[in-house]
Structure 1
Amino acid sequence: MGRTEKPKQNTLYVGSLAKGLRLLRAFDESHTELSLSELAARSGLDKSAAQRLANTLHLEGMLEKDATTRRFRPSHAWLGMAYAYYWSDPLVAQAMPKLIELSKLIGETVNMAELSGDHIIYVSRLPCKRTSFAATVIGRRLPALSTSSGRVILSTFPPEERAAAVRDWPLRSYTPHTTLDRSEIVQAVEQAVRDGYAIARSQMLPNEIAIACPIRNPEGRALAAVQASVSALSWSEERIRAEILPALQDTAHAITAKPQR
């Protein structure tokens, strides 16, 4: 069921389970440990419901609870679920040998991102030595419009879908240079349509240049992208196009994206 569908329209909808999932979604990279009051506030649940759900999830092994502070945080069970996800996503297994080969060839950080709603999510990451911790964590979600991967995936969509996405999808500032002007994002996406790749400079991190190529399904629509990230202090865009882009394109073309399930 899509999140926009009203529960009463689906007789199979289990409201209590949905509330439990809302509670789990309260955790993110900025909220790794939460008190009961914080869980209630971030999930939109009343404190009594949040207490019952949090303690049930604790007893079921999904949340850990600090005996002293009584704060909750995700348990190792989340990693087990992520492990199951990787086995269920054929694109990840298919792409990994090619991503490793690309990483060795260019000696820079290589990522694969998939579209997740109006965000991209990193499903494979091969960092170089100077990569920061945040840039190595699999599962990180970022606004699609602010990333080279999101823009190049979007560039494969029909014009009306591209226009709606640029109009409606969220934006967030990460650096002083993050593009927040939607007209500039339109230009960047349309440039990716013409070029077949996208370059983004200092959007997520200062002095970072990211370049991405789409992984297309048989119909030509991208469900994922291969991306390389380099330091703008060491690389010019011209050098990136000459030395990294051809290998990036070869890798993307070698990975066959399956239709979305």
Structure 2
Amino acid sequence: MTTASTPSDPLDDRKFVVALARGLELLRAFRPGESMLGNRDFVERTGLPKATVNRLAYTLTVLGYLRLDESVGKYALDAGVLSLGFALLSGTDTLELARPHMRAFAREVGAAVSLGCRDGLDMIYLDTIRSETALTLGLASGSRLSMLTSSMGRAYLAVQPPDVRAALLAELGKAAGREGAAMLADTQREIDTFMREGCCYSFRDWHDDVNAVAVPFREPRDGRWLVLSCSGPASSMGEAVFRDTVAPRLKSLARRLGDTA
């Protein structure tokens, strides 16, 4: 089981509530595009015993975070989760500041531009703006991407203190299984790229027809790291376009929104 705690902060077992962490793992088991999951799905994705999953799912249903469809015996996310998401988005002043700039950026480059932050071992999209004039690719708010294969995740890793980054990479490699070594090597390559160029790329790593670039910046209000990314079809936006045209503009936008590395 993974948690969203920062590796640089030692876990205090006296304060850590295991039951709460397990309940949140059930909510995180939902993936983009999925509307319903059953107990078997929860067990497979969290590694928790079936009896524990049953109790957690019941509790989350009573509290309004899950909704049970008795006709199929599966759960859907309920309004409680949605209210938490709205609270997060409404509390992010940077998102409101960034939207008009992101909209203009998407029009200029003919691609999708997204803003995201870390959640556990993933990056979660806070917002995505797509170009209105060209075919673009981009995930919706709430979508998750792996830190190892996404430019957004690689950019986040690149600005972490060395000990925090090492701990995260070790955990990511373990979670990736047999493919972990190769994925870690690709990620380290892009971290090295960041040290030279101030951005990270993902060329067909996340999807066969998706190229992307990402730039991190510190949110002025509370100093947390957010990441801007721009993605487009690899078939029409090659590596040179991202290196020579998109990346310089994205770095400029990041500097307008906060402190860059």
Structure 2-normalised TM-score? 0.77
Q: Secondary structure at the match of 1:203?
A: coil
Any conservation in 2 of the 1:154–1:162 contact (CA below 8 Å)?
A: yes
Q: Which one-letter code corresponds to 1:90 in the other structure? A: D
1:130 aligns with 2:135: yes
Q: Which one-letter code corresponds to 1:127 in the other structure? A: R
Any conservation in 1 of the 2:219–2:226 contact (CA below 8 Å)?
A: no
The residue that corresponds to 1:187 in the other structure is 189
Any conservation in 2 of the 1:172–1:180 contact (CA below 8 Å)?
A: no
Instruction: From the CA coordinates, give the structure whose radius of gyration is larger.
Output: 1
Q: 1:205–1:49: structure 2 CA closer, same or farther, 3 Å change rule?
A: closer
For 1:54, which of 54, 57, 78 is the aligned residue? 57
The residue that corresponds to 2:157 in the other structure is 154
Q: 1:225–1:37: structure 2 CA closer, same or farther, 3 Å change rule?
A: closer
The residue that corresponds to 1:227 in the other structure is 229
User: How many residue pairs are counted as aligned between the two chains?
Assistant: 248
List alignment gaps of at least 5 residues for structure 2. none
What do the CA deviations read for 1:67-100 (whole angstroms, capped 9, x no partner)?
3122111123322211111112233223222212
CA displacement at 1:224 relative to structure 2: 1.9
Structure 1-normalised TM-score? 0.77
**What percentage of residue pairs aligned between the two structures are identical?**
25
Worse-superposed segment, 180-189 or 195-204 = 180-189
What do the CA deviations read for 1:94-147 (whole angstroms, capped 9, x no partner)?
322221221122221111122334322211111246345xx3221222221222
CA displacement at 1:51 relative to structure 2: 3.4
The residue that corresponds to 1:90 in the other structure is 93
The residue that corresponds to 2:199 in the other structure is 197
Q: Secondary structure at the match of 2:226?
A: strand
Worse-superposed segment, 14-23 or 58-67 = 14-23
Question: d(CA) in 2 for partners of 1:182 and 1:45?
Answer: 27
Cα RMSD, aligned residues only: 3.4
Q: Which one-letter code corresponds to 2:11 in the other structure? A: E
Q: Which one-letter code corresponds to 1:139 in the other structure? A: G
CA displacement at 1:187 relative to structure 2: 2.5
Question: d(CA) in 2 for partners of 1:22 and 1:184?
Answer: 28
CA displacement at 1:58 relative to structure 2: 2.4
Q: Which one-letter code corresponds to 2:258 in the other structure? A: T
Q: Which one-letter code corresponds to 1:238 in the other structure? A: A
List alignment gaps of at least 5 residues for structure 1. none
Question: d(CA) in 2 for partners of 1:186 and 1:65?
Answer: 43
Any conservation in 2 of the 1:39–1:50 contact (CA below 8 Å)?
A: yes
Q: Which one-letter code corresponds to 1:5 in the other structure? A: L
Structure 1 moving runs of 4+ over 6 Å: none
